[in-house]
Amino acid sequence: MSLTAGALGSVFQPGFSAIGGPGEAPNRIYGAGAYADVRFSRWVQFEGEGRWMHLNTLYGVNEDTYLAGPRIPLHTFHFLRATPYAKALVGLGYGKFLTNPALTVAYGGGVDLRLTKKISIRAGDFEYQQWRVTPTTLWPYGVSVGIGYKIF
């Protein structure tokens, strides 16, 4: 069993525009996040993440997400020290434009590059999110990069 914790920098295309409502916004939003990966075995892994997107918000459209779910490593390329993975997370999404939290499902994947036994780089992490907001659904998507530290 192992636990890795890390920090992220993210850029997202929000699924809501203060001008036009649901749909592509005219600007991207930026923010920071944190993640934790728990590895029980080679194929049984769990990820939790929080992301706070508060920079470059147009008309106060921001997004915060708190998600958790399974993470599946696809293959380990030992000569590159790279492990691509897929993930499916579920949790809550918040925004100033919402009156209630939104049930959020995120599908994604990325690549972790191991630098040392303890330090890894999250070279790219893509997420396509689905926010269930009555009476519609929002579809934000974005990419993150970061650094992780293996605690044990």
Going along the chain from its start, the domains and CATH numbers come out as: 2-150 (2.40.160.20)
> What is the pTM (predicted TM-score) of this model?
0.90
| pLDDT value for 19 | 64
| pLDDT value for 43 | 87
Measured CA to CA in angstroms, residue 10 lies from 58, 76, 123, 124 at distances of 17, 25, 12, 10
Q: How many CA atoms within 13 Å lie on the side-chain side of 70?
A: 7
Q: 9, 131 in Cβ contact below 8 A?
A: no
Place of tokens 């993930």: 87
| pLDDT value for 61 | 83
| Element counts in the chain: helices (H) and strands (E) | 0, 11
| pLDDT value for 59 | 75
| pLDDT value for 130 | 95
Q: Which residues of the chain have pLDDT under 70?
A: 18-21
| pLDDT value for 96 | 85
In the structure encoding, which two tokens stand for residue 115, read together? 């630098």
Q: How many CB atoms lie within 10 A of CB 59?
A: 12
| pLDDT value for 46 | 97
| pLDDT value for 56 | 87
Is it true that the peptide bond before 140 is cis, omega within 30 degrees of 0? no
